[in-house]
Each structure stands twice: as C-alpha cells, then as structure tokens.
Amino acid sequence: MKKVTLTFLLLLLFITSHAQLDPRLRGITEKIEKILKATNTPGCAIALVEGDKVLYTQGFGYRDYENKIKADANTLFPIGSTTKAFTAALLGQLREKGALTFEESPKKYVPGLRFYNDQLNNSLLVQDLMSMRSGLALHDKAWSGFPVSDRDSLLRRIEYLEPFTPLRMKWNYSNFSYFVLGTITEKLTGKPWETNVEQALFKPLKMTSSTIGVKSLTERPNVALGYNFSNNRLEKVDYYDLSAMNSAGAINSTAQDMGNWLLTWVNKGRFNQEQVLPEKYVEEAMSPHVVMPKGYLAEEEFPAIYAASYGYGWIISDYKGHYRVEHGGSIDGFRATVAFFPNDKVGVVVLTNQTGYEAAMMIRNTLMDSMLGAKRTDWLNIYQKNRGVSPSEAKPLATSANPAPPAVLNPQELHQYVGTYANPGYGSIKLFSEDGSLYTYFRKRKVKIVPALPDTFHALSTVYPYKRVMPPLQFQKDKKGTISSLFIKFESDLKAIEFSRQ
C-alpha cells in the first residue's frame, strides 16, 4: 500500500510540474540543450519573468564539466558587465535622496579626481559617465593588464589616460567610467561599493545567494566553473579578480536572484510592493542617451536595425518590433545576458560558463521569440550555417592537453631586456629571466616573451596553444644603445603606450 501511495505521489508531482510549464515554453529544454552542444558550452541557467512573477527558472548542462555536476537555478555565476546596471541604480537611489545630481561634475563628489585634459576636467558630467559618452578610450589594460587592488591608486591612473574623441562626440565602452561611478557611491555613503550593493539592492530584492568578487566563488558549494573552448578542447579558466574595478563587473548571481532583479525593472522599480528603484530613474535608465556605433548589433540578428542606443548601464534597441533593454556580461570563462521588454513586461536572463557569446545570445532570442509571440527564428540553424557545420557534425567536448612549450630565448640576450618599465596610467611591467627565457605577468598570468623582429617581441601564453595574449612589445634604445623604453599599442585609435625603464 505504501509503495502504491508513493508511486502515486511521484506521478502527481511529475504531472503537476509539467502542467505548470507555460505552453509557450514547450520543447525549450531540447532547444537549449542543442544550443549548448553546438557551441561547446558546458552549462547555463535561465530565468524568465512576466508581469509580477518569475515565470520559470532552470539550469541546464553542467556547472562543473569534469566532474559532471549539473547546473541549476541556484548555481552561482559571475555576471560580468551586467553589474553596471546595479552601479548606476545606486546613483539613481542616491539622487532620489538628494545626495547628488547627474548634471554635476564627478570631481565634485570625488576629491582628487583628474582627467587627461581641460575639456574633461571642466565639462564632464556624471551622466556622461553613466551613458559612456565621455570620449574616454577603453584603456582596459590599464586596470586588467597590470592590476592594483587599491582604488585610490587606480583613480590616479585616470589622469594619464588619453581620450580618443572629444566629449559627447561618440559613444565608447568604458569600464573606467563605471569605476568612477562606483567610487562616487563610496564617497557619498562612506561605505564600500560592495556594501552599498548588498544593502541597497541585494537585501530589498531578496537576492540572497548573490555575492561580489572572486573570494565568495571559492567559498560557496553551488558555483559554476568557467571554461574556454579552443582547438576543439574545453579548457577550465581561473576566476578573474577585478580587484579595484569591482563596480564595473564583479557581481556573482543566480538565475533565481536575477529573476528578482528583472521583476524590479519590468515593474518600474517596484518589488514586492516596495519602490526599490525610483520610477523616474528607471524611465531614464532605459531611455536612449547616446547612439552606439554599428558593430554592437549582429547583422543576422537585426537586419533592419542600424544602431542601438545606450542608457544608464543598459543598451536599448528594437527586437522584432518590441522595445528591448538589455546588457551583456563577459568575464574570463563566463557570458551572461540580461534583457527585458518594458512594454510587454517580460524579461530573460541567461548565465553561461563559456567565454563565447553565441550560446547566451541564441538562448535569449529563442526564449523571447516564444514569450513575445514573435515570428520564430531558428537561431541555431543560422549559427550553424555561418560556421558551415550542421548540428549533427558538432564535435564532442574534450579536456585540454598541454604539449611541450615553445623554444626558449637565447640566454645571452636576456640581460638587455630584463627590468621594470613604468607608465603613470598603466602601472609597471616587470620583465624577468627564468630558465633561459624571458617572462612577465599580464592579467595576473605568467606569459612568455619571445623575439619576433629586432627589438620586437611577442607575449605568448605558457600553455598550448601558446596564443598571443597582448600586442607586440617594441623596445627603444637611447643614444648609447641601451634599452630605455618599451612601447605597447593597447588602443587602436591612439599611439602606443610608452613604458619608461626604471
């Protein structure tokens, strides 16, 4: 009798769980699994919201591929630059309290902040940083290539970072902009940015599993490992610690928690009957403030759209006639996409543990085609056609192998290059010899420096397939024939960055 009762209860649970699945999502599991396989993505977690409810959350594939540990809706993933909307939202809350305006200079709120030229020092506004129309070049290697954990030290580097265009002339992606915005929240509240996010956003939004920074990823049991697919091999990637740059991309979250974040946006800042984000701010944040250049929208996805716009930590565009607000996140081994449609009151988050963007984009679009009732596009078929591979030909994943390293540099030539080279905007790069070869550290990883041309070297990873990890290093000699400086062209629109030998 007990066995019959148990069987009945299990059958009832099975029927109930499947009956609750929205009819629009029938077949979605098979579609997502095919996308993961085709893109060699180990796993993902998704959340769908509609109206005032989290409609669906689910994990697919593996959070740990080697040990075949499955991902679920509560698996913690780094969400990368989708963090920026959180940082901007803090400013929206602080403005509502009268602590600042977006029409003031950021220098008013951050004593000691200085920029490269008088135009930026005299005319740049907080809202220019929020919408990324400051004219600042990316200069990502100024914080990621040679990182510092001290925010004051990173703040001092900004004065030496050359813009690529005059203020408000063009949009350009800028992590430094959101670093400054995070610093503003710290100066106004007297609390670290991390504490502000936890108290002002995570707590009221019941984002109880969300964390900030790498340390928490090593302390939690249900976390995703990051991967990169290269040379038909899946390589596990170390978590990347953003250190001082946390406010631009260091949040870790789950599909379940991010569903609450999306609910807040589709409901004009309200969550559980509480106005967490000011409604006026929400309207501004998801409105266009500057046109983005062509290239940020995939042509096959938007054949009739010629530009997108940037709001405050959000990208605004059209998707099949629907007003879409979204942002992607990318950090070593992970990709995320968060999107919502305010007029339709639906939203989606896709968190993946693979560097490539294709899986997150295709899953997002597939889900939205169903939720919006739009004409459905076979995104996987388009992807496979562009690659010239059919789904049945997708190769199985393999773990990485490490063949022998490349040849070493002639030890007799090392002495003239060994030393420390410094730039006030980028920090220091130290070249050292080891086992007859020349090395340095870049993005917290050891890289090998090998000759290419006279006084020109390439920086290669120390593991197969020995990829170039930074632009060529070009050395310059003084009149005495001694190496005096090192040039690296990190920004395509600007001259090479000079590091002077110390």
Q: What is the three-class DSSP state of 29?
A: helix
Taking alpha carbons only, the member of 376, 371, 372 closest to residue 55 is 371
For residue 6, tell me if it sits in a domain: no
For the segment 113-163, what is each residue's pLDDT rounded down to a tens digit? Answer: 999 999 999 999 999 999 999 999 999 999 999 888 899 999 999 999 999
Q: What is the three-class DSSP state of 64?
A: strand
Domain with 362, as residue range(s), is 31-393
User: What percent of the chain shows pLDDT beyond 70?
Assistant: 89
Q: Which pLDDT belongs to residue 170? A: 95
For the segment 292-349, what is each residue's pLDDT rounded down to a tens digit? Answer: 987 655 554 555 555 699 999 999 999 999 999 999 999 999 999 999 999 999 999 9
For residue 272, tell me if it sits in a domain: yes
Taking alpha carbons only, the member of 388, 427, 480 closest to residue 144 is 427
Residue ending a domain, choose from 333, 360, 393 = 393
For strands 315-319 and 309-310, give the pairing. Answer: antiparallel
Same domain membership, residue 388 and residue 415: no
For residue 4, tell me if it sits in a domain: no
Q: What is the three-class DSSP state of 93?
A: helix
Q: Residue 382: pLDDT above 80?
A: yes
For residue 323, tell me if it sits in a domain: yes
For 85, half-sphere exposure in the C-beta direction (CA atoms, 13 angstrom radius) is: 28
Alpha-carbon distance 267 to 118, whole Å? Answer: 41
Residue 483 near residue 416, CB atoms below 8 Å = yes
In the numeric block, the tokens 């602080």 are attached to: 94
Instruction: Work out the average pLDDT over 467-489.
Output: 94
Strands (E), 356-482: 419-423, 427-434, 437-442, 445-453, 456-461, 468-477
Residue ending a domain, choose from 366, 393, 420 = 393
Q: How many domains does the chain have?
A: 2
Q: Which pLDDT belongs to residue 405? A: 47
Structure tokens at 440: 């340095």
Same domain membership, residue 158 and residue 86: yes
Query: Please, where are the H alpha helices in 286-435?
Result: 358-372, 379-387
Q: Residue 97: pLDDT above 80?
A: yes
Instruction: Work out the average pLDDT over 411-440.
Output: 91
Would you place residue 502 in the very low, low, confident or very high pLDDT band (cuts 50, 70, 90)? very high
Q: Which pLDDT belongs to residue 21? A: 75
For residue 22, tell me if it sits in a domain: no
Cα-to-chain-centroid distance, residue 350: 13
Taking alpha carbons only, the member of 330, 337, 379 closest to residue 356 is 330
For residue 7, tell me if it sits in a domain: no
- The DSSP code for 44 is E
Same domain membership, residue 211 and residue 331: yes
What CATH number does the domain containing 490 carry?
A: 2.40.128.50
Structure tokens at 54: 């989290």
Structure tokens at 342: 């305010």
Q: Which pLDDT belongs to residue 380? A: 93
Q: Residue 17: pLDDT above 50?
A: no
Instruction: Work out the average pLDDT over 260-276.
Output: 98
Residue 323 near residue 309, CB atoms below 8 Å = no
Same domain membership, residue 326 and residue 448: no
What CATH number does the domain containing 353 carry?
A: 3.40.710.10
Q: What is the three-class DSSP state of 271?
A: strand
Residue 130 near residue 312, CB atoms below 8 Å = yes
Same domain membership, residue 277 and residue 348: yes
For residue 379, tell me if it sits in a domain: yes
Q: Which pLDDT belongs to residue 414? A: 82
Same domain membership, residue 437 and residue 340: no
Structure tokens at 290: 């500057």
Same domain membership, residue 473 and residue 379: no
Same domain membership, residue 440 and residue 339: no
For residue 404, tell me if it sits in a domain: no
Same domain membership, residue 230 and residue 185: yes
For the segment 177-231, what is each residue's pLDDT rounded down to a tens digit? Answer: 999 999 999 999 999 999 999 999 999 999 999 999 999 999 999 999 999 998 8
Residue ending a domain, choose from 393, 424, 458 = 393
Same domain membership, residue 225 and residue 333: yes
CA dihedral 58, 61, 63, 65 (to 10 degrees): 170
Same domain membership, residue 371 and residue 458: no
Bridge partners, 229 (sequence order): 234
Taking alpha carbons only, the member of 270, 262, 253 closest to residue 207 is 253
Same domain membership, residue 445 and residue 382: no
